[in-house]
Structure 1
Amino acid sequence: MSANTKLLKGGKRQKESEMCEKLRLVDSELVSFYQYCQQMGFTPSEMEVICSPLFDVMQKNNLKRIFKVIISLLVLCATIYAATQVGSIAIHASAFGRIAMIKILPLWDWRHLFYETCLIGNPFYGEYTLTEDDCVSCESLESIDIANKVSYDFLLDNYLNRDAPIIITDAMDNWPAMNSDDFLFNNISQIYLQDEKLIDTVPCVLSTNLRTGTSDLLTFLKRIHNPAIDKWFVHWQNCDIHAVKALRKFYQRPYFLSNSVSPAHFNWVLMASDYSTNNYKTVELDSGLIMLAQLRGMTAFRLTPHKPCNESCPQLTGNLQHGEMLVFTNYLWAFEYYPGQKMDNIAVLTETVWDESTL
């Protein structure tokens, strides 16, 4: 050990010793002052008034200490967050985090939380569950009706309130997107590639046969702009409010829908190019009013009753052609689809809160 090191350590010990001595003296003075106040007959309330300046100073020092601790924690959290945004560090942090989660499994089995929609249950929320009595709505359905020039009352009484789906052929006749030749994938892609608010948007759900190595929508859109890329499909859900509003440029409120029905809270894009399959793609939808608008090409779909109605009600299948709209409430039905073969397909699906008591 060098002489300088010994001097430094000796100086540090001396300072600590001096500080301890000062604290002992202060403590002794305070005890003497307290005893003196008792001998003089001061009441506790009077002693509190006398000592209030000291209490104020001590309280301010405690607040400063707490504030410093909070600032230090915030700086530490910000530093850790900034570090995890670096690619290599983020990968290692993710790996260590996963290893840690695996290691704690014997102590706490957290795996059921992975499949939970919400970590904290809402005691005021009661999810509606189907019963066998509800199945009378669909047990006699054999096919999906096709209609045009329908009124809202007609649609409500004969289909929506009965949980029966319908295809409407003239719902999109006046939409600008239907009269544009230069539409297809480019226009939808451009709203995400050019809007600053959507540059970093991440869809809540994205499913495709193209492996991009990320769930980033922009990476996928840039890839399909390559003419060499073909035979692909994709569907994604917009739940970011900016993305939901941006997609509304390509669809409008159907003429048959009442103004009392709120706008869509989420919307989906279903696109495909020369993709041949007969395997249905599952789309997990929130409960509500569902409208699927076929902007280009064709979409084959299947509506399957939820349990227990799947035992007494049939599956309904159909093909949604260019310019047609499928309308249904999905309390009873699960929706699946596959894109039309050997063609380019674009469809927009909207999810709208549907509360019959307010309509």
Structure 2
Amino acid sequence: MDLEPKKVGVQDFHNLILRARAELGIQDEEVVHLPIVKQIRWEGKRFYSRNVLLLCAGLLFLVVIGLPTSLYLSIRDETKFGNITVQTYMSYLDNENPNEGYCLFKMPSLIYPFTRPPVNCSECANVEGIQYAYNLTQEKFISEYAFGMQPVLVKDGQQNWTAHDMFSYHYFKSVYSPGSEALEKSEKECQFFPYETEMRTLGEFFNMSDERVAGNDEPYYCGWSNCDGKAANELRKHYKLPYFLPPELDHSKTDWVFMGLSGFGAYMHIDNVGTTSWQAQIKGTKKWVLEAPPECHGTCISRMEVIVEPGDIIVLDTNKWFHSTEIMGKETSIVIGSEYY
């Protein structure tokens, strides 16, 4: 018949050690290194002693991710705690000594939305929606749109551009041909945004199969900066500074290209580029969704949507408006964009 296992206590284990020492001549040092003794010592430790690394990882996650996320959701949903937090933070900034500088360092993109300076909500309090413009004069652009939070869609922004007829995947591939100086410099010095694709470099993007380029295989959406001078000069043969932007605002030497297939786009995010930007829809159609920063909910319009079509240029402060994009229709989307200041 089955015998019930005997429970071994501390005294029993001590007596066993004494017998091993007396009858077998085993020293204490040898007993300590026996695998079974190590196991007993490990299982006898308290929970927090055995799981110290796990507990530290959990605490780190709570501090770095959990608390900022909870605060963000609290502010976004306009809870009492969120409103008090924002008011306290704004009061602190207002009372800071203007002669004392801030310590600045580059924040990771995932952390930046939780650490950015709050927006002055009076800047968007009068924004009722995205405005549309034709024949926009430079004077009106400066006075109403250039440096505020009022987004504007200029419907005739690409006057005298040839980009719509020239730009395509194969045209870009000819500019950044394999082994070319433009591609090599772009991969070393320029930025590449893979968004929802597995590609991590511009070279990988221009190594796609024709089936995938045509949309008959795995979809893609990505962006890159044309910071190589020769490539930039070639691309700029087919577009120029939008007519409504005064030349003195054209200080940016780097433009951006965004390209992808229907259904893809950029997730909801906020930029950290420091200046207002314009984006020209060369081909395809894209839906933009703008959301007010959480601290401005209740003061500013909470959400806006706009469809940007070929020939349009949208101008907005992407450092203050949270925004996402989605490519509509079947045509491949190609966008050129840049900042101004």
Shift of 1:140: 3.0
Give the aligned partner of residue 235 of structure 1. Answer: 222
Give the aligned partner of residue 288 of structure 1. Answer: 275
Give the aligned partner of residue 341 of structure 1. Answer: 329
Give the aligned partner of residue 4 of structure 1. Answer: none
Q: Deviations over 1:288-319 (max 9, x none)?
A: 12111000110111222334224422222211
Distance 1:244 1:345 in 2: 19
Q: TM-score, normalised by structure 1?
A: 0.55
Contact residue 268 and residue 322 of structure 2 kept, 8 A = no
Matched, 1:221 2:209: no
Matched, 1:205 2:192: yes
Distance 1:145 1:135 in 2: 19
> Any stretches of 5+ residues in structure 2 without a counterpart?
1-52, 65-104, 109-114
Distance 2:294 2:268 in 1: 19
Task: Say which SS state the counterpart of residue 158 (structure 2) adopts.
Answer: coil
* Inter-CA distance 279–267: structure 2 relative to 1 (3 Å threshold): closer
> What amino acid is the match of 1:141?
V
Give the aligned partner of residue 159 of structure 2. Answer: 173
Sequence identity (%): 18
Distance 1:283 1:159 in 2: 19
* Inter-CA distance 118–265: structure 2 relative to 1 (3 Å threshold): farther
Pick one of 192, 197, 215 that aligns with 2:176: 192
Shift of 1:186: 1.6
More divergent stretch after superposition (312-321 vs 280-289): 280-289
Alignment of 1:1-359 (within 5 A): 117=106, 129-131=117-119, 134-178=120-164, 180=165, 183-193=167-177, 196-200=180-184, 201-202=186-187, 203-212=190-199, 215-226=200-211, 229-230=216-217, 232-238=219-225, 240-242=227-229, 244-273=232-261, 275-276=262-263, 280=267, 282=269, 284-313=271-300, 314-352=302-340, 354=341
Q: Deviations over 1:16-59 (max 9, x none)?
A: xxxxxxxxxxxxxxxxxxxxxxxxxxxxxxxxxxxxxxxxxxxx
Q: TM-score, normalised by structure 2?
A: 0.58
Shift of 1:270: 1.6
Contact residue 208 and residue 232 of structure 1 kept, 8 A = no
Larger helix proportion of the pair: 1
Shift of 1:208: 4.2
Shift of 1:187: 1.2
Shift of 1:185: 1.9
Contact residue 260 and residue 333 of structure 2 kept, 8 A = yes
Q: Deviations over 1:46-86 (max 9, x none)?
A: xxxxxxxxxxxxxxxxxxxxxxxxxxxxxxxxxxxxxxxxx
* Inter-CA distance 154–281: structure 2 relative to 1 (3 Å threshold): same
Q: Deviations over 1:80-106 (max 9, x none)?
A: xxxxxxxxxxxxxxxxxxxxxx9xx99
The aligned length equals 230
Distance 1:278 1:244 in 2: 24
Distance 2:270 2:256 in 1: 10
The structure whose Rg is larger is: 1
> What amino acid is the match of 2:249?
V
Q: RMSD of the alignment, in Å? A: 3.3
Give the aligned partner of residue 20 of structure 1. Answer: none
